[in-house]
Amino acid sequence: MNEADLRTTLALMAHEVDVPDDLGAVTMTLIRSAHRPSPRDRRLARRDARKLSPRGPRRWTYVAATGVAAVSLLTAGTLIAVRRPVPPHAHSAKIVAGAERGGGTQNTNDALSSSASSGSASGSNSISGPAVSSPVSVVGLNDLPQIVHTADIKVQVKDFERAWGHANDVAQNDGGYVTSSSTSESSDHTGSGTLTVRVPSGNLEQALHDLRALGTMTALTTSGNDVSAPIADLNARKKDAEAEEASLQNLLNNASSVSDVLDIKSRLNDTRNDIESIEGQLHGYQNQVDYATIHATVFDEAATPHKPLLGSGTLGRGIHTGGHLALAVIAGASVVLGGLLPVALLVLLGWFVVRKVRHRTR
């Protein structure tokens, strides 16, 4: 076979089919649709488009809008982070008033507090809330709220020695007792001391009044912890245990065999232990309800019990405030970023899906 025959045959074979008329056009269409411009080309195209429509927003407007949005979000997050809870003076007063009236239907929180600080005027105003005569002395006999009162008071005095002596007398004068006390003297011979006093809840107001009279009150915090629910629960458990004990006692009296006696006695012992444990807890609660706890700090006028590290001058306060603000901003940024994270993930996922779909379409 010569080469000419081969060429002829191959040409004939190749011409068994015609080249589609639109093959080139279809190919170019495919190429144009498949061709993605490079990032630089897209950037240049956007620039050209902006030039063609000068009335459209400029690039800096997008940047500015993004900046404003970021700052707004940051500010909102900061405000959320530094927002302080509403002082629950009113709630505390409600409970106390309800307790005085003998009503048990008021809304109560597990921990309620009222506070006053830095200023004798404001401190003396807020003291009237929780300082009431508590009617709670018998646990479980009525449905009154069972409140455990605590107070923290700081008093600045001129003569520490004399004031300290009077402070220790306050407990005895108001029917209470001192659980702990400590004093210290600084290098400049100024004294300060802390005192923990238990007084009957009904005498809390009087005790605080007596302590305040020692000098100038600089801080006062009072709180009431409602323990009605655990006390009611313990009372119910005690009642059940006592009923079981009576039942077991009855069974013991009618027991006919030694093994039954031993078994019932064992269970009686367990029940008795349960009852005693419950009574112990009830007694603890009752003591806490009956006696309010006061943590008192008495210090000389010249002494500074909690001297700020950076000083109390303008610069020190400024640095202190600045530090707090910086932390607040960081906290706010964390809030904003944390909130935006799911959105960012969704956007990323959407972008990924769109990219995949486009890729497959091509």
Partner 1 sequence: MQPDDQGRFERWVTEHQPVVFRAAYLILRDRSGAEDVAQETFIRAFRSFERTDPGEAVRPWLYRIAVNTALNELRRRKREANAYLRAVGPDTTDPTAASETRSIVADAIDKLPDNLRVAVICRYFLDLSEQEMASVIGVRPGTVKSRLHLARKALAGNLEAVNS
Three-state secondary structure readout of 67-136: HHHHHHHHHHHHHHHHCCCCCCHHHHHHHHHHHHHCCCCCCCCCEEEEEEECCHHHHHHHCCCCCCCCCC
Q: Specify the residue, 36 or 50, whose C-beta has the smaller distance to partner 1.
A: 36
Binders of partner 1 among 132-171, rule CB under 8 A? none
Q: State the Cα angle at 238 between 235 and 242, rounded to 5°.
A: 140
Q: Specify the residue, 5 or 188, whose C-beta has the smaller distance to partner 1.
A: 5
**Does the footprint of partner 1 cover residue 15 (CB under 8 A)?**
yes
Q: Specify the residue, 22 or 188, whose C-beta has the smaller distance to partner 1.
A: 22
Q: How far is the CB of 23 from partner 1 (least distance, A)?
A: 6
Q: How far is the CB of 24 from partner 1 (least distance, A)?
A: 5
DSSP H helical ranges for the chain: 3-14, 23-34, 39-52, 59-82, 89-101, 120-126, 160-173, 204-212, 228-253, 258-290, 314-361
> In terms of DSSP bridges, do strands 147-157 and 111-117 run parallel, antiparallel, or are they unpaired?
unpaired
**Does the footprint of partner 1 cover residue 3 (CB under 8 A)?**
yes
> In terms of DSSP bridges, do strands 147-157 and 216-226 run parallel, antiparallel, or are they unpaired?
antiparallel
Q: How far is the CB of 41 from partner 1 (least distance, A)?
A: 9
**Does the footprint of partner 1 cover residue 6 (CB under 8 A)?**
yes
What's at 330, amino acid-wise? I
As given in the structure block, the two tokens for residue 136 are 């709670």
Q: How far is the CB of 325 from partner 1 (least distance, A)?
A: 55
Write the binding mask 25 to 64 for partner 1: x where contact by CB under 8 A, - elsewhere.
-xxx-xx--xx-----------------------------
Write the binding mask 233 to 272 for partner 1: x where contact by CB under 8 A, - elsewhere.
----------------------------------------
Inter-residue contact 130 to 224 (CB < 8 Å): yes
Beta-bridged to residue 96, according to DSSP, are: none
Q: Which helix (H) or strand (E) holds 292?
A: strand 291-300
Q: How far is the CB of 51 from partner 1 (least distance, A)?
A: 19
**Does the footprint of partner 1 cover residue 9 (CB under 8 A)?**
yes
Q: Specify the residue, 30 or 327, whose C-beta has the smaller distance to partner 1.
A: 30
Q: Specify the residue, 27 or 142, whose C-beta has the smaller distance to partner 1.
A: 27
The whole-angstrom separation of Cα 136 and Cα 224 is: 13
DSSP codes, 16-36: TSPPPTTHHHHHHHHHHHHPP
Q: Specify the residue, 55 or 359, whose C-beta has the smaller distance to partner 1.
A: 359
Q: Specify the residue, 41 or 260, whose C-beta has the smaller distance to partner 1.
A: 41
Interface with partner 1 by CB under 8 A: which residues? 1, 3, 5-7, 9-17, 19-20, 23-24, 26-28, 30-31, 34-35
